[in-house]
Structures are given as structure tokens and as C-alpha cells.
Structure 1
């Protein structure tokens, strides 16, 4: 697996979905979790939330191990307001993912809240 410093950062909130899918397809759960703020929240279904990057990493590691495969959908243009952005993607089955990204001090973007419809 790549070291975090070797991974491509999200320089635009529009980069986040593509990076998530490419890292998932590469089996890089650590890299997937690195797209989230350290205290981010990910809806993992069934009314449960993964809170924090460690919990998100664990969740994605289980998905990768189970052979889950993500696909790129029709990404909507991010709505940006200062250091916050709303990202969303319409998937092939018509469902939509919704995320809130936060611009970091170095200008890169990480998700703070993720409501993915692509997860079981």
C-alpha cells in the first residue's frame, strides 16, 4: 500500500469521489479513509455511523476484504461555499450519494460527513 504522503490529494472537492473509487478498486482501505477528516462521520447503513477515521478505515477494510466493488457514477458539480462543499453522485441504479467536504489549511479537501448510497 502507498504511504499517505505518496497518495494524490484532493485539490478540488470534485476529486474526492474519483479518488475514493480508484483507491477502493486498488484495495487501499487506508487510502480511502485518508479522504476523510480525522473526526469525520460516515453513514454505514442500518442507522449506524462510523465516527472518526479509524472506524471509517475499519469499515472500508471490511468492504475491500468482502470484494465490494465501487463504480463511478454521474458526479454532480460540487456546490462550494467558502471552505465547505456539497458533493454528490447519481449512481447507475438512480440513487444519489451526498457528502460534505471541508477545505483543509493546505488547500486540499477532505470529507467531513458522508451519506453514501453505494454501500450495502
Structure 2
């Protein structure tokens, strides 16, 4: 995917997971963090939370260094109520992700809360 297409904003909450996987596979931690609100929270495991876009960027930059690649799983339909959306995906190993996205003033969507693993 070219840089322009990879960095386009999410105009639907369903776009967020696909964009995250694409950007992670490209090793672009900056573009991954851009899918989150400035004050977003990401559960990074072990009872730790990355708070804010900078901390989320730092986490994804370290993850990119491991060369681990995300795969797009079975994305469930987003549940949308007004400016909020609940997104989730069942990954191939049975893990389930759950996220809360918020519609921004320009109509695009960003994640506000992300818990990438709720079931082993």
C-alpha cells in the first residue's frame, strides 16, 4: 500500500482495525498512533496502560522493532451510538480485541480506548 493510502483517515469506525494492521505491517508506528485520540488509552498488557498518543507511539515503535506482524482477523460489525462506536475483532488464535472509537469534529473516527486482548 502506498504512503498516501496508508495514512488516510478512518471515515468509518470499521476502517480503524484494517488501517492499524496495514500500518503495523509497514512498521509505521507514527501512523499507527495517529489512529488514536491525543488522550487515548491502550492496554499494553501486564496491567499496564499506555496513556496518550506519545506513549502509544512509543509502544508501537518498540513492537515494530520485534518485527512481529499483526493479521486482520474476523472483524465484528461496529456498534455505533451517536459519536461513539464499539469495535471488536476475533483473531485467528481466539483472542478478541475491543475498542471504543469516537467520531471527531471532521467526521473521521479515532480510537479513545483500546484493549487488544480480552480472551486468550
Tell me which stretches of 4 or more aligned residues in structure 1 moved more than 6 Å: none
Hey, what's the Cα distance between the residues in 1 that align with 2:10 and 2:99?
A: 14
Count of aligned positions: 116
Hey, what's the Cα distance between the residues in 1 that align with 2:21 and 2:50?
A: 19
Listed one character per residue, the Cα deviations across residues 67-108 of structure 1 (whole Å, up to 9, x for unaligned) are: 121000000000000000000000011110000000000000
Residue 18 of structure 1: aligned partner: 18
Q: Gapped runs of 5+ residues in structure 2? A: none
Listed one character per residue, the Cα deviations across residues 6-48 of structure 1 (whole Å, up to 9, x for unaligned) are: 8210000000000000000001000000000000000000000
Question: Where does 1:1-120 land on structure 2 (aligned, <5 Å)?
Answer: 7-117=7-117
- What TM-score, normalized to structure 2? 0.92
Hey, what's the Cα distance between the residues in 1 that align with 2:68 and 2:32?
A: 13
After superposition, the CA RMSD in angstroms is 1.7
Q: CA deviation at 1:117?
A: 1.8
Hey, what's the Cα distance between the residues in 2 that align with 1:23 and 1:117?
A: 19
